[in-house]
Each structure stands twice: as C-alpha cells, then as structure tokens.
C-alpha cells in the first residue's frame, strides 16, 4: 500500500496527484492532507510513502516538516519518495530539499523531485497578492506543474 502525505496552502499541490495516481501501478493509494486529515493514519500500514508540499519563502510547508519530524524513525524503514512544489526554476529550488528535510531521510529517499507549481492570485491573501505580483512581475495566474517530473517520480516509485 502507498501513502501520499502532503501539505498545501493554496491547493495547487493537489493537482499533481491526478497525474501521479494515473502512473502509479499500486492502485491502493491513500492520500492525506496533513493539515486537514480528520482520521489518524497508521503509517506502519504502508510500505511506500510519498511526502511533500509547497515551498513558501524558502520553507517547506510546516505540516510536512512536523510529520517528518514526528515519524522520522518509522519513515527511515520505508520506501520513501520526496517532492516539493515551487515556482523557482528546478536548478535553484532543489536546494530546498537539503534545507528542509533531515539528511537521514534524504539519504534514504529513493527519489527526490521538484514538481514545479502553480499560483492562483484569487486564492492569495490581500497581503500576499501585491508581494507576489511584485516578485512575478505580473498578476496573471501561473501553472508550471511539471508533468514529466511527476511521471518519472511515479516510475521510480513503481520500481522500488
Ligand atoms: C507567499 C508565497 C511564497 C512563496 N515562496 C516561494 C519560494 O520561496 N520559492 C519557490 O520556489 N516558490 C515559492 N512560492 C510558490 C509556491 O511554492 C507554489 O505556488 C506552490 O505550487 C504552492 O502550492 P500550494 O498551492 O499547494 O500551496 C510561494 C508562493 C506563495 C503564495
């Protein structure tokens, strides 16, 4: 069984899962939003665990960080795939693995991948909207979800 444990602030990370689910050979996949999940999930029930979420101001979503911190010892005995969603180019975003996930888990992970991301201005808070407009130099929505990276990630999980 496969678990996808994720964080999101504005929902775009969830767009990656339709692509991933289609590619995963295991059809017994449980997806949990680490902030809103009501039921308690026993991670011991899963042999493959996919973990990730968005980068905001250089930091990985805090619910993902907490999940990893709390379950690190168990996770070290699982088949692990790690991902981030982001808008910086992959070459500069990849460093966020080193700065946000424990090195033991990074060493253990079978795959680490940058999925790209999306930004929908209408979902941002009134404080964030002008800041993101300044950074992106536009107020147009952005969708840079990298389908190819998600498919390759799923293939590596299939082969694990
Ligand atoms: C307030 C804010 C800060 C962000 N900071 C970064 C950042 O430092 N680096 C980056 O690559 N992307 C950054 N992003 C882009 C998000 O990581 C990207 O839009 C992601 O897809 C959001 O996922 P979510 O909709 O699931 O929350 C930021 C987005 C917002 C709204």
Are residues 45 and 1 in contact, defined by beta-carbon separation less than 8 angstroms?
Answer: yes
Are residues 39 and 72 in contact, defined by beta-carbon separation less than 8 angstroms?
Answer: no
Residue 23 CB less than 6 A away from ligand 1: no
Residue 63 CB less than 6 A away from ligand 1: no
pTM of the complete model:
0.96
Task: Report the pLDDT value the prediction gives residue 8, as an integer from 0 to 100.
Answer: 98
How far apart are the CA of 56 and the centre of ligand 1, in A? Answer: 5
Q: Catalogue all structural domains in the chain, each as residue range(s) with its CATH number.
A: 2-117+145-158 (3.40.50.360)
C-alpha 97: how far from its chain's center? 11
Task: Report the pLDDT value the prediction gives residue 21, as an integer from 0 to 100.
Answer: 95
pLDDT at 39 over 90: no
Residue 9 CB less than 6 A away from ligand 1: yes
Among 19, 87, 140, say which to mutate for ligand 1: greatest number of ligand atoms within 8 Å of CB: 87
């Amino acid at each position: 069984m496969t678990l996808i444990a994720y964080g999101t602030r504005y929902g775009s990370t969830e767009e990656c899962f339709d692509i991933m689910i289609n590619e995963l050979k295991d059809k017994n996949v449980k997806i949990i939003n680490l902030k809103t999940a009501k039921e308690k999930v026993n991670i011991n029930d899963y042999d493959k665990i996919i973990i990730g979420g968005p980068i905001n101001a250089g930091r990985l979503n805090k619910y993902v960080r907490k999940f990893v911190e709390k379950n690190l010892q168990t996770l070290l005995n699982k088949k692990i795939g790690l991902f981030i969603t982001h808008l910086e180019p992959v070459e500069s975003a990849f460093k966020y693995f080193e700065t946000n996930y424990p090195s033991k888990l990074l060493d253990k992970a079978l795959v680490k991948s940058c999925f790209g991301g999306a930004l929908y201005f209408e979902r941002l808070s009134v404080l964030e909207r002008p800041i993101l407009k300044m950074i992106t130099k536009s107020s147009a929505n952005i969708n840079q979800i990298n389908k190819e990276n998600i498919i390759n990630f799923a293939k590596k999980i299939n082969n694990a």
